[in-house]
Chains A and B, each alone.
Chain A
Amino acid sequence: MDLTVDIGHLKLKNPVMTASGTFGYGEEYAEFVDLNMLGAIVVKGITLKPLEGNPPPRICETPCGMLNAIGLQNVGLKRFLKEKLPYLRAFDSKIIVNVMGNTLQEYVKLAGALDEAGVDGIELNVSCPNVKKGGIMFGTDKKALANLTAKVRQAVRQSILITKLSPTVPDIPKFAVIAEENGSDAITLINTIPGMAIDTRTWQPKLANITGGLSGPAIRPVAVRMVWEASRAVKIPVIGVGGIMNVDDALEFMLAGATAVQVGTGNFLRPTATVEIINGLWTYLDKKGISNVKDIIGGVNGESIHSNLNN
């Protein structure tokens, strides 16, 4: 059975990755999962300089989901290269680094340095809802996104380039096409959806940052729809993410058109979620008599109208 998928020139041993910001720098999970088993490890977003993040409270639970406003707390490029990357390199898994800049120049600098350091992939974060500057500004403005993707593309030689888009735009396919036309090897969909929760006893927002990003099963239908729309508009692979808890959720994204998936909040509930999903894919394909996982990508039958009452 073949579980491999291709993202640009990168061949993943299976389509299961981790979602940036939920898997630390890998080491936090080493006790729970064999990191060698993962298709790719996408690490916590890196900025040029270390960021200390937002004041607490930073998270709160919501129905079937959670809001977070971590504020991209990270060790910065220098310490990542020196302390975190060597650790990750010891595993037989592809390393993808999520990057966030305040300015175009910062993105270019970060991507260039990481490319030179030999990471397998760079995921452009143009969709973080929790930092004041940069980021989402590039993900919600077509010209800015085109320019950013093109400039970063020039700075990246070896690594694959992935653009992680914001779900806050009304026309996801257009943004996906812009990423593709300007040199992205793939797009990731979706980042968290901006949200808010209020404590009715105190009349205060539940997050110190007031608003945060919603993740978990609550956002899955939104993410599946966006993956479906985007994957029909571009030829490059779409990586689906948003509320994937188990193999069934992962399959849903792949049927919608995702070539690979990322597991985020699901890791918090069950630190072994990624490996359970990989094992689940084997079992599913075996049962269905499908020998290649690529055969299910985009397999949703959008033409037929049927009753789902038998499910």
Chain B
Amino acid sequence: MNRYFKAEITKNLPLNSKNNLLTLFPLEPVIDPEPGQFYMIEVSDSYNPLLKRPFCCLRKTPDNMQFLFTVRGKGTALMKEFRKGQVIHLIGPLGSGYPEARKGCTPVVIAGGTGIASLFSFIERTPDSSRVIYGAKTKDELLMLDELRKAGIRLTVCTDDCSFGEEGMVDQIFMNFLRSNESIRTSCVLYACGPRPMLRAVAAIARDNNIKGYASLEENMACGFGACLGCAVNTVKGYKRVCKEGPVFPIQEIVW
């Protein structure tokens, strides 16, 4: 089993103008990822850009692995150009993923934008009673909706521009949900991934309502496996590495 391995690109499907679904076929025996773990993906074998890019694994089947990415900068622009048959290096699975919810607790999953990539395999494994709140800026940016509906969970979608689902941001929907579900409030455990401002808002609601849970963070990183110390995040227990102790942290430990 190799944590540093080569994989062949089998598909690089554009989902909309910004997002692609990348499918890879590992050319070596690899380790199965836990939900929330991530991989460092080589975007170029030149030294510009120099570093690999971290992405959560959307899902892994016996034959292939899939990643969801948004074109944001130089590295992801190169990833958009990935072609079938191209061979790239990856490191992973890395980091600490989402712990399972304790018995009797209802998982409440909150995903913003491409944050769904980190939570997708977790959702696939959660019990039917789980609640999922998934939001994006526009309808076009809501990804993997059909698959999520198939997962049999109770799904609420929302868009910032009201183009689909409920109106508003996920933290507002979460707040409304808590108001109307008093019984769940005392027994739910939160799983959140999305942009930093969204996570900050969700963490504040969780704190005010005494709800425990987990958030997956993103940070610039050079290595991905704990050596460079570049991806530090400030926690109540001092700086921790997003790549090693994270990317998933207890939500109340993060100093937002």
Interface residues of A (CB under 8 A from B): 22-24, 28-29, 31-32, 44, 52-53, 55-61, 63-66, 68, 70, 73, 216-217, 245, 265, 267-272
Q: Is the CB of A56 within 8 A of B226?
A: no
- Are B3 and A68 in touch, CB under 8 angstroms? no
In the complex, what distance in Å separates the CA atom of A109 from the CA atom of B64?
Answer: 54
Among B42-50, B137-145, B172-180, the one that faces the other chain is: B42-50
Additional A-B contact list (20), CB under 8 Å, known A217-B50, A265-B222, A272-B4 = A24-B227, A28-B226, A28-B227, A52-B239, A55-B232, A56-B233, A56-B234, A58-B220, A58-B231, A59-B220, A59-B230, A64-B47, A64-B50, A65-B47, A66-B51, A267-B223, A267-B227, A269-B50, A270-B89, A271-B223
User: Contact partner of B50 among A28, A58, A73, A216, CB < 8 A?
Assistant: A216
CA distance A231 to B221 in the complex (A): 34
**Contact (A22, B228) CB under 8 Å given A32-B3, A59-B220:** yes
Q: Complex formed: what's the CA distance from A59 to B233 in Å?
A: 12
**Taking the complex as formed, is B245 at the interface, i.e. its CB lies under 8 A from any CB of chain A?**
no
B28 on interface, CB distance cutoff 8 Å: no
Provide the B6-49 mask, 1 if CB < 8 A to any CB of A, else 0.
00000000000000000000000000000000000010000111
Decide: B219 and A56 in contact? CB cutoff 8 A.
yes
Q: Are A53 and B229 in contact (CB under 8 A)?
A: yes
Contact of A66 among B50, B226, B229 (CB under 8 A): B50
B90 → A minimal CB distance (Å): 11
Which single residue of chain A is at the shortest CB-CB distance from B219? A56
Q: How far is the CB of A7 from chain B (nearest CB, A)?
A: 23
Which residue of the partner chain A has the closest CB to B74? A61
| B238: Cβ under 8 A from any A Cβ | yes
Whole-angstrom CA separation of A60 from B230 in the bound complex: 9
Is residue B59 within 8 Å, beta carbon to beta carbon, of the partner chain? no
Cα A63 to Cα B50 in complex, Å, equals 7
Contacting residue for B228 out of A70, A245, A272, CB 8 A: A70
Question: Are A53 and B232 CB-contacts (below 8 A) given A28-B226, A271-B91, A271-B223?
Answer: yes
Is residue B80 contacting chain A, with contact meaning CB distance below 8 A? no
Most chain A beta-carbon contacts within 10 A, residue among B3, B48, B221: B48
Residues on A with C-beta less than 8 A from B164 are none
Q: Look across to chain A and name the residue whose beta carbon is closest to the beta carbon of B223.
A: A268
Residues of A near B42 (CB, < 8 A) are 269
Min Cβ gap B99→A in Å is: 22
21 contacts between A and B (CB under 8 A): A22-B227, A22-B228, A28-B223, A28-B225, A31-B3, A32-B4, A32-B225, A53-B239, A56-B231, A56-B233, A59-B230, A65-B47, A65-B50, A68-B222, A70-B230, A73-B239, A265-B50, A267-B223, A267-B227, A268-B227, A271-B4
User: For the complex, is B131 an interface residue (Cβ under 8 Å from A)?
Assistant: no
- Complex contacts, A269 vs chain B, CB 8 Å: 42, 50-52
Residue of A nearest to B53 (CB): A61
Find residues 37-88 in chain B having any chain A CB closer than 8 Å to their own CB: 42, 47-52
Cα distance, A58 to B230, chains bound together (Å):
5
| Chain B stretch 230-254: residues in CB contact (< 8 A) with chain A | 230-234, 238-239
Instruction: Name the A residues within 8 Å of B231 (CB-CB).
Output: 56, 58-59
Q: How far is the CA of A269 from the CA of B225 in the complex (A)?
A: 11
In the assembled complex, how far is the CB of residue B131 from the closest CB belonging to chain A, in whole angstroms?
A: 32
* Chain B proximity of A30: nearest CB distance (Å): 11
The 10 closest A-B pairs by CB, nearest first: A59-B230, A268-B223, A268-B222, A28-B227, A24-B227, A64-B47, A28-B226, A217-B47, A70-B229, A58-B230
Closest to B243 in A: A28
- B89-101 to A contact mask, C-beta < 8 Å, 1/0: 1010000000000
Minimum C-beta distance from A302 to chain B (A): 27
With a cutoff of 8 Å between Cβ atoms, the chain B residues found around residue A272 in the complex are 4
CB contacts (< 8 Å) of A24 on chain B: these are 226-227
CA distance A216 to B47 in the complex (A): 9
> A271: which B residues are within 8 A, CB to CB?
4, 91, 223, 225
Residue of A nearest to B52 (CB): A269
Cα A24 to Cα B241 in complex, Å, equals 13
Q: How far is the CA of A245 from the CA of B223 in the complex (A)?
A: 14
